[in-house]
A = this chain, B = another copy of it.
Amino acid sequence: MLIEDDPSVREGLRLSLSRHGHDVDVARTGEDGLKRLLEAPADIVVLDLMLPGLDGFEVCRRIRAGGPTPIVMLTARGDDLDVVSGLEAGADDYVVKPVRPRVLEARIRAVLRRVGPAASAVTAQETHGDLVIDRGSLTVSKAGIPLTLPPMELRLLLELSAAYSQVFSRQQLLESVWELDFLGDSRLVDACVQRLRTKIEDVPSRPRYVQTVRGFGYRFGPL
Which residues of A pack against B, CB within 8 Å? 70, 80, 83-84, 87-88, 91-94, 100, 102-103, 105-107, 109-111, 114-115, 117-118, 121-123, 134, 136-139, 146, 148, 150-152, 154-155, 163-167, 213-216, 219, 221, 223
* B154 adjacent to A215 (CB under 8 Å): yes
Cα distance A111–B72 in the bound complex, in angstroms:
12
Instruction: Pick from B83, B100, B105: contact of A106, CB below 8 A.
Output: B83
Instruction: Pick from B102, B137, B164, B167: contact of A80, CB below 8 A.
Output: B102
How far is the CB of A118 from the nearest CB of chain B, in Å?
A: 4
Instruction: Pick from B83, B100, B146, B151: contact of A214, CB below 8 A.
Output: B151
* A123 adjacent to B92 (CB under 8 Å): no
State the copy count for this chain: 2
* B109 adjacent to A150 (CB under 8 Å): no
* A165 adjacent to B123 (CB under 8 Å): yes
Q: What are some 30 contacts across the A-B interface (CB < 8 A)? A: A80-B100, A80-B102, A80-B103, A83-B106, A84-B102, A84-B103, A84-B106, A87-B106, A87-B107, A87-B109, A91-B110, A92-B111, A93-B110, A118-B118, A118-B121, A121-B163, A121-B164, A123-B165, A123-B166, A134-B165, A137-B165, A137-B166, A137-B219, A138-B213, A138-B219, A139-B165, A146-B223, A151-B214, A154-B215, A155-B215
